[in-house]
Amino acid sequence: MKVITAYCNLRAGECLVNGEVVARRDTGSEDSWFKQIYKQHELAYPKFYKMDVLSQAGYLASELIKRANPGISEVYADDEIALVFANASSSAETDRRFIQSYQGGGSPSPSLFVYTLPNIVLGEIAILNKWYGENMFAVLPKFVPGFYLDYSRILLASGSRALLCGWLEVTAGSTDVFLFMVEEKEKGTEFNEENLLHLSQTGAVAAY
């Protein structure tokens, strides 16, 4: 049976792993919300500071999932974990910042430009973990469980043994991040439409 073995919801004011709050935003802090999580969880990956918000979100959520589900890198070969991510607004937030870098007198910023593609976050996660598996980034109007369910069937039938999936919507006005790990297990939270919809909403109310 395909099971959701760990998940992380990252929202405007809270970060939850498997439904438990693991970080709360300190609105008085000078640090960005993502930096607060990075520090609170004593993560050590200086490249984090170079990343755009999409990659930071994907990095944080994937690291927290790995902590909740240790050993996944050992259980699977380096090309058996596929990454399937999606969002609605592509890399719009970084695109906007890149445009700002060259409009109004400045020069186009190469360090922003390299993040103006939504799939860069997949590259960051692959680099960090040395994962050589399948990658896909789709742009969809909203989170649809069917997209992940359909594509996971294809991947799991063609060499991938586990999936790290994600919905990563980070814009100036909203943070809606949901990452989840799908593996083959005897029991657990079944990877189906109902459970995905339910888990994707974790913490949604508390944030408002």
Partner 1 sequence: MIYIGAEVIVSPLGDTAEANWEALSVNRTGIALTPAVGFNKEDIHLSRIVGLGGPLRFQQLVIKALAGLKNRIDASILTSDRTMVLISSTKGALDDNLHDQFGETCSAVMQQFNLAHLPIVISNACISGVLALNVAGNMVGAGQYEHVIVIGCDVASDFVLYGFQSLFAVSDKACAPFDAARNGITLGEGCAAALVSGAKSVFKNTPLQLLSGTSANDANHISGPSRTGEGLVRSVSRTMQKHGIGAEEIDFICAHGTGTVFNDEMEAIAFDRLSLSEKPLNSLKGYFGHTLGAAGVIETAVCMQMMRNGMLIKSLGYRDAGTSQPLNIILENEPKKLRTILKTASGFGGGNASLMIRDL
Site for partner 1 in 127-146 (CB under 8 A): 127, 129-141
Size of site (CB under 8 A) for partner 1: 51
| 181: its two tokens | 């790990």
How does DSSP classify residue 91? T
Q: Which of 36, 40, 119, 189 binds partner 1 (CB under 8 A)?
A: 119
Residue with tokens 């099971």: 3
Mark 59-98 with x for binding to partner 1 (rule: CB under 8 A) and - for no binding: -------------------xx---x----xxx-x--xx-x
Which neighbouring-strand residues pair with 4?
182, 189
User: Which residue, 14 or 176, has its beta carbon nearer to partner 1?
Assistant: 176
Site for partner 1 in 166-185 (CB under 8 A): 171
User: Which residue, 64 or 86, has its beta carbon nearer to partner 1?
Assistant: 86
Smallest gap, in angstroms, from Cβ of residue 165 to partner 1? 15
Closest CA to 55 of 116, 131, 100: 116
19: left (phi over 0), alpha (psi -120 to 50) or beta: left
For residues 121 and 168, is the Cβ–Cβ distance under 8 A?
Answer: yes
Cα(141)–Cα(145) distance, rounded to whole angstroms?
12
Q: Which spans of this chain sit near partner 1 (rule: CB under 8 A)?
A: 78-79, 83, 88-90, 92, 95-96, 98-99, 102, 107-110, 113-120, 122-124, 126-127, 129-141, 147, 150-151, 153-154, 157-159, 171
